[in-house]
Amino acid sequence: MQLTFLGTSSMVPTKERNQTAVFLSYEGDGILFDCGEGTQRQLKIAGISLTKVNKILISHWHGDHVLGLPGLMQSLSASDYDKKLEIYGPTGTQKRIEKLFEAFVFDKRLDFSVSEVGNGLFFENSSYSLEAFQLEHGIETLGFRFIEKDKRKIIMGKIRKHGIPDGPLIGQLQQGHEIELKGQIIRPHDVSVEEKGKIIAYVTDTVLCDGCYKTAADADLLICEATYTSKLEDKSEEYGHMTAKQAGELANKANARKLVLIHFSARYKNTQEIEEDARNVFDNTICAKDFMKISL
């Protein structure tokens, strides 16, 4: 599981920071959180093939979060993309995607689906699930949760001790089933330990609200906007954003383990003041940079 921060600026990009986008690579899936202008170029610079993207989660339809979408979709349609691109977003996403194809000429049609999601679970497979919760930003806005399922880690020393051969029996134990070998019942906990799945939360472009806490609850990694410091709390509230201190308070109350700040106003030449503002209430905080990678 690896996160790559492709864009960490807010509405206006800077020389160092692109508009918002975060890429999660997990077991062959490539999940893109938002798709600001220039995202496909950021992917290339980061060494990530565009065709790795198979899910795009759109938080809301302000331009700095979606202006890279038509370019990315056009490039995928012109490539050897053999997947179905899944796009998830708030109410109105289907209509807005249709408008993209009215505004731009695509020489080759891309195979994709669009799902409008609300509160709660919207995707699940055997490895992970995805949830969304409504945020407050003046337009329909979503926070997203990636929830890895608990896994059993086989302890090979105990496997050998029980004389279990390589093959399907080990697979059955890993899936949580007991097996019988030479008249002996072997249970999963005899040869394995259960590892708790990781939770990644993504909260951007919102004031503090109930949906923030639902999205961030018990996250191993909380990615959260910090457009301004608390010195500009009035301005932050006026434009429907959070301060770095509020992001720290969210991480604290939601029992998050690590806070990564993104979506910085272009007024800040560096992020020291922003990071310190959050650290006053939540110490395990860092500010993201474009192309920063985190492995979990």
Structural domains in the chain, CATH included, are 2-150+196-295 (3.60.15.10), 152-193 (no CATH)
* Separation of alpha carbons 287 and 278, rounded Å: 10
The per-residue b/e assignment along 145-168, b for 16 or more CB within 10 angstroms, e otherwise, is bbbbeeebebeeeebeeeebeeee
Q: What is the DSSP secondary structure assignment for residue 198, as one 8-state letter?
A: P
Each of the 296 residues of the chain gets a pLDDT tens digit; together they read 999 999 999 888 888 999 999 999 999 999 999 999 999 999 999 999 999 999 999 999 999 999 999 999 999 988 888 899 999 999 999 999 999 888 888 777 888 999 999 899 999 998 999 999 999 998 999 999 999 998 878 888 888 888 888 888 888 887 778 888 888 888 888 888 878 899 999 999 999 999 999 999 999 999 999 999 989 988 888 888 999 999 999 999 999 999 999 999 988 888 999 999 999 999 999 999 999 999 99
Helices (H), the chain: 39-45, 63-66, 69-77, 93-103, 156-161, 168-174, 188-191, 210-216, 233-238, 244-253, 272-279
The residues, any chain, with a CB within 8 Å of residue 242's CB and separated by 6 or more, are 203, 206, 207, 208, 212, 224, 225, 226, 227, 236, 250
Distance CA 284, CA 94 (A): 38
Instruction: Give this prediction's pTM.
Output: 0.87
Q: How many CB atoms lie within 10 A of CB 191?
A: 22
Catalytic residue set = 64
Q: CA–CA separation, 69 vs 56, rounded Å?
A: 9
- Among residues 201, 230, 266, 209, the alpha carbon closest in space to that of 64 is found at 266
